[in-house]
Structure 1
Amino acid sequence: MSDDITTPTAAAAPSRRTVLRGLTIGGVMAASGIKLASAGEAATTHGSLPASVDVVVVGGGLSGLVAARALRTAGKSVLVLEARDRVGGRILNHTLSGGAVIEAGGAFVGPTQDHILGLAKEVGAETFKEYVAGKNVYVANGQPPQQFTGTVPPDPLILADAALLQARIDKMAAETPIDAPWTRADAQKLDSTSLDTWLRQNSVLPQVRTLFLSYLQPTFGSDGLDVSMLFFLWYIAGAGNETNVGTFARSSDTANGAQDSRFVLGSQIVPLRLAAELGNAVALNAAVRKIQQSADHVTVTSDRGTVRAKRVIVACPPPMVLGIDWSPQLPPRRQQLLQRMPMGALMKCDAVYAKPFWRDKGLSGFGLSDTGAVRVCFDNSPADASVGVLLAFVGGSNWNTYGNVSLAERRKAVLEGFAKLFGPEALNPIEYTEHDWTHEPWTTGGPVAVQVPGALTAFGDTIRTPFQRVHWAGTETSTYWAGFMDGAVRAGKRAASEVLDLS
């Protein structure tokens, strides 16, 4: 297989742009065997927009679509304006050459994520358990691969230190108010400390911090230098629900954790089915350029035209909010908050094999390494295992290293990382594909906007505060499961409720 393509050896290779770009609504639905509503009801990519609606929703990701659905169910007229040529935002399916579907964006769901699981049931999106049978693999300190079960690698040097660190994180997270973390007695001290600094100060061995990167890089697209410790504790506190305290294990684990399950037709099937329900209330290729408020209405100007509304819900990544021309200007404290919420740097790299060969070796496909392009990987095979897929998250400093080399160099490094964990068979995939979220102009990174040291205590209380007739959704505005699909659903529901309460 050639090093300079991302498609199967036997197939003609489309351009890298074609491989990486998101499919349109129709394309993804067709690939998933699902049909949209009739052509007249389908989300529009061209044509005129209504002159006015009750509510305009900015952003056709999961949060915006959930908000729009709730409003329309309550009898409100609504229009979703989406900048891309597809719905889903940070949720994106990728169809492999043989027809199987995997995820290029957000993929996993798990226990206590009641809102996304409930919504999936409503729209008929089935889930399946992430493959965890067999042994996990750990490579560190230049030693041969070690196989292990459970969640902690069998390195006697780090076991005690890692266990104490996790217990301390859980205790501190449980003491962090989920709806107002800035009210902790020691909030200022924690918020002025980066997560990286705290880890260095509170772990005995440097190997523990190195291992911790296998969580930080895919979770935040960061090594923790730009992540407030208070923000991190709040994030862990949110890995639960109103009756289950958030824990580090639930945030990081596969079985019974945040990576417990995936969607049979890929996670984008949920926003696709929501968009099909909403029909022509979803307008694609409609980037919002200006939002102008007056005493009794809001005027929203997009690439597809101008719409007047009584209320607006903005449900897009924080950096995109700053790119809108606001009249009047956003409140200064909200501007300051958004300027301190950068997106992480993350890409997903998938190698496809004729079968999941690691399963025959009694391996789960989950692996950890302290060096190289593949620091953490998962079995990303489709539900029927028609092909085998290994997934590597390349984020944070690893993205800095491998995200800026040629495709051929990165592909080689990723395959060598898989081979180090699972054997030489990994060097010869039938297909290789990747998606770098820093290249997405309407996201600019992934998977979540973090809050840098100092932001949460100074400006965090503005995160959900409406701005006149404008309300805020998006996963970052959720309390529980911010950064996940469940947080996006929660935020969309809350924003819709705010609007309805004022109607």
Structure 2
Amino acid sequence: MSASREPGSEDTTVDVAVVGAGFAGLSAADRLVSAGRSVLVVEGRDRVGGRSLSGEVAGVKVDLGATWVARRHTAVRDLASRVGCTTTGQFDQGRNVLWMAGRRRTYSGTVPKVSPTVLVDMARMQMAVNKLVATIDVNAAWESPGADRLDAISFGEWLDRKHALPGTRALMTVVSKVQWGCTPGDVSLLHALRYIGAAGGLDHMLDVKGGQQQDRIVETTQEIAMRVAERLGDRVRLETPVRRITQDDNGVTVHIGSGGIRARYAIVTAAPAHRAAIEFDPALPERAEGLTRTWRMGVLSKAFVAYEKPFWRAGGCSGEAVTDTGTVFITFDVSPAHSGPGVLMAFCDPRVFDGFSPETRRDRVVQQLADLYGPQARTPVDYVDHRWGAEPFAPGGPNPAVAPYATTSFGKALSEPHGRIHWAGSENAGEWAGTMNGAVLTGRRTAENVVALLTRDVREGASR
């Protein structure tokens, strides 16, 4: 079946309709085209890339969304290389800054040196987390031993039951905000363990060298998606939200505007919570419907502050800081070179950030950077931020903040096809769930499954 537009109508006919032009959707389309299948990708936003987004501060390209690739993220690395994008190591030379309980200190390594007592407690909690992670099947966490028990409490409740010290809890709160856009009390313990296991363990999740923050994409992560979309050409349509998908024994119709896309199969890559904006006919099964209601997106904001030079490096600091006070809770140095400009990336708590004016947001971030790095931080040359919770279409990120009971109740529906509708996205990944690498892997895998079904359909049709 070749892509075509029926004369006198707004309908298009293809083998596969793909909903969403993030890394999963574009990877699925890329694989389908390679298999000789016709495809049309529709995206509600005015851009591709999903939760990756390029920005600019002081002439430097920055990642307003997804940022890092690990050494073991081979799928997204291969994709980046294929479209001519390059990596650069995340700067981590020098001492890190810790601001906790009103006190500033510096440390080296991954785990902040809060105090000997907290260090021992952190090691104890890491061992306990890793022991539980070893029992989790990241491909089907809801079927893991003790899943019901682990899903009945939040990550925060578990920390309480383990009598985690305040310093340990503060550091785990930073982890939770970065990974799920929420506090430990808002996310199920089972969900947290699944994502930690999918990331290769807590150490790999937190580390820079050899870990999940190993490298950045020089051209920005969204540039990878833009170059893939450019290769797909007019197979990608932007500003085309999908409001309804119907299906029958012969195929699906994806309703867009005044017309529709008729296809043999559809691949939907929207996050579970965003699927609620689409009407399905026949309706989704109860478990899949529950998934859309309970797997809500977390919320995270980022700010970038530029200076003439990365002055903190001259003071022996890496640009990495962790704090339990104020708007900013973690920072990284994303400067393009030692000579400047210097750029600090700050993760911001939307609860004390998103509701303010642009000027107030800037002032709050700059003041906190001055507390962390000294008075030179008060005189930036440029500033930009992005509030993912304020996105007009498909808001939220970086990942779903799934509350207790929702993983065991509805998690199985993540990848269960609904008739001719198949699902992909970083949430669907087992290994590397919640990453660009996971999104690429699920897009490819789902496309391959659909290609097999198309081949079967042709074979069965020929035998009749």
1:491 aligned partner: 442
Question: Aligned residue for 1:96?
Answer: 57
Picking from 447, 452, 467, the partner of 2:398 is: 447
1:76 aligned residue (31, 37, 45)? 37
Report matched runs for 1:477-488 at 5 Å.
477-488=428-439
Shift, 1:257, TM fit: 1.1
**Cα contact 1:285–1:304 (8 A) shared by 2:** no
Q: 2:235 aligns with which of 281, 284, 290?
A: 281
Select 2:191's aligned residue among 208, 228, 231.
Answer: 231
Equivalent residue letter for 1:455: A
Partners in 2 of 1:384 and 1:440 — Cα distance? 33
- Does residue 189 (structure 1) correspond to residue 156 (structure 2)? The answer is no
Equivalent residue number for residue 142 of structure 1: 102
How much has 1:119 moved relative to structure 2? 1.4
Q: 2:252: which partner in 1?
A: 298
| Residue in structure 1 matching 2:327, options 373, 383, 405 | 373
Match of 1:456 in 2: 407
Give the length in aligned residue pairs: 445
- Does residue 425 (structure 1) correspond to residue 386 (structure 2)? The answer is no
Tell whether 2:50 aligns with 1:85: no
1:51 corresponds to which residue? Answer: 12
Q: Give the aligned partner of residue 470 of structure 1.
A: 421
Is 2:135–2:145's contact at 8 Å kept on the other side of the alignment? no
Give the direction of change, closer, same or farther, for the CA distance of 1:442–1:385 in structure 2 (3 Å limit). farther
CA deviation string 1:2-48 (max 9, x = no partner): xxxxxxxxxxxxxxxxxxxxxxxxxxxxxxxxxxxxxxxxxxxxxx9
Q: What is the alpha-carbon distance in structure 2 between the residues aligned to residue 280 and residue 185 of structure 1?
A: 47
Cα offset, 1:91, TM superposition: 0.6
CA distance in 1, matches of 2:318, 2:338: 15
Q: Residue 116 of structure 1 aligns with which residue?
A: 76
Residues 90 and 443, structure 1, Cα contact 8 Å, conserved in 2: no
Residue in 1 that maps onto 2:138: 178
Whether 1:438 and 2:389 are equivalent positions in the alignment is: yes
Q: CA deviation at 1:137?
A: 0.8
User: What is the match of residue 217 of structure 1?
Assistant: 177
Match of 1:346 among 300, 305, 314: 300
Q: For the Cα contact (< 8 Å) 2:18–2:42, is it kept in 1? A: yes
* Residue segments in structure 1 that go unaligned for 5+ positions in a row: 1-47, 240-245
**SS at 1:222 equivalent:** coil
What SS does structure 2 have at the residue aligned with 1:268? helix
Kept in 1: contact 2:273–2:291 (CA 8 A): no
CA distance in 1, matches of 2:359, 2:368: 14
What is the Cα deviation at residue 49 of structure 1? 6.6
Q: Compared with structure 1, are the counterparts of its residues 162 and 82 closer, same or farther at alpha carbon in structure 2 (3 Å cutoff)?
A: same
The 2-side partners of 1:418 and 1:442 are apart by 31
CA shift in 2, pair 1:383/1:296, >3 Å = farther
2:125 to 165, 170, 187: 165
Following TM superposition, by how much is the alpha carbon of 1:169 offset from its aligned partner in structure 2, in angstroms?
0.7
Q: 1:312 aligns with which of 257, 266, 270?
A: 266
Task: Give, in angstroms, the shift of residue 451 of structure 1.
Answer: 2.1
Q: CA deviation at 1:253?
A: 1.7
Q: Is the 8 A contact 1:200 1:206 kept in 2?
A: no
CA distance, structure 1, for counterparts of residue 119 and residue 166 of structure 2 = 13
SS at match of 1:146: strand
TM-score norm. by structure 2 comes to 0.93
8 Å CA contact retained: 2:303, 2:384: yes
Percent identity (aligned)? 39
1:342-390 Cα shifts (integer Å, max 9, x gaps): 1111110111111111111111100011211121111122367641111
Counterpart of 1:117 in structure 2: which amino acid? R
Distance 1:263 1:383 in 2: 14
Matches of 1:384 and 1:418, distance apart in 2: 19
The answer as to whether partners of 1:128 and 1:383 remain within 8 angstroms in 2 is no
Partners of 1:192 and 1:407 in 2: CA distance: 40
How far does the alpha carbon of each residue in 1:161-212 deviate from its partner, in whole angstroms, 9 at most, with x for none?
A: 0011011111211111121112222111110111111112214312211121
Contact 2:53 2:65 in 1 (8 A): yes
Deviation per residue, 1:237-294 (Å, 9 max, x gap) = 101xxxxxx2101112222111111011111111011001100100111111110101
- Could you tell me how far apart the structure 2 residues matched to 1:379 and 1:176 are? 34
Q: Tell me whether 1:404 sits opposite 2:365 in the alignment.
A: no
User: In 2, Cα distance between the equivalents of 1:96 and 1:426?
Assistant: 15
Please give the alpha-carbon distance, in whole angstroms, between the structure 2 residues aligned to 1:285 and 1:370.
39
Q: Give the TM-score, by structure 1 length.
A: 0.86
**2:226 maps to amino acid:** L
8 Å CA contact 1:111–1:260 kept in 2: the answer is yes
User: What is the RMSD of the two structures over their aligned residues, measured on CA atoms?
Assistant: 1.5
Q: CA deviation at 1:317?
A: 2.0
The letter for the 2-side match of 1:141 is: A
Q: What SS does the corresponding residue of 1:288 show, helix, strand or coil?
A: coil
Is the contact between residue 125 and residue 164 of structure 2 (CA under 8 Å) also seen in structure 1?
Answer: no
Selected match of 2:111 from 136, 152, 164: 152
The secondary structure found in structure 1 opposite 2:109 is coil
Given the alignment, which residue of 2, 7, 26 partners 1:65?
26
Letter in 1 for 2:371: K
CA-CA distance at 1:123 after TM superposition: 1.6
Matches of 1:326 and 1:176 in 2, distance apart?
32
Question: What is the letter of the counterpart of residue 50 of structure 2?
Answer: G
Within 1, Cα distance between the matches of 2:441 and 2:311?
39
> Which amino acid in 2 is paired with 1:312?
A
Kept in 2, the 8 Å contact 1:320–1:442? The answer is no
Give the Cα separation in 2 of the matches to 1:387 and 1:272: 26
The alignment partner of 1:410 has SS state of helix
Is the Cα contact below 8 Å between 2:136 and 2:144 reproduced in 1? yes
| Preserved CA contact (<8 Å) 2:58 2:381 | no
In the superposition, relative to structure 1, how do residues 60 and 306 fare at CA in structure 2: closer, same or farther (>3 Å)? same
Give the direction of change, closer, same or farther, for the CA distance of 1:116–1:238 in structure 2 (3 Å limit): same
